[in-house]
Amino acid sequence: MMIHVKLLANYREHLPPEAKNGGVELDVPDGTTVREAISRFPIPLDDTSVIVLNGLTVDLDTPLKAGDVVSAFSAIAGG
C-alpha cells in the first residue's frame, strides 16, 4: 500500500534525492506502523521529534492505511 512521508525543517536533509516538496511516497506492507515507516529515516524517535499521522498525534504503533500521511519534524522549545 502507498503512504506519504513528509520530513519538515531540518529533517528534510534525510529525504532521498527523488523526494518532492519535502516528502516521498513509500510502498509499505499492510500492517506497517507509524514507527516502522518513519524508522526508515535517520531521525530520533523520542521527545525531540514531533511525529503525526494525517495531522494528528498518535501512538507510534498505530497501523497505517493506504493514503496516510506521516509527518515528522524536530520539536522546538519556545518561551
Q: pTM higher than 0.85, yes or no?
A: yes
Domains annotated on the chain, with CATH? 2-74 (3.10.20.30)
Q: Which residue has the cell 496516510?
A: 68
Tell how strand 2-7 and strand 69-74 pair up.
parallel
> Tens digit of pLDDT for each residue in 20-60?
888 999 999 999 999 999 999 999 999 999 999 999 999 99
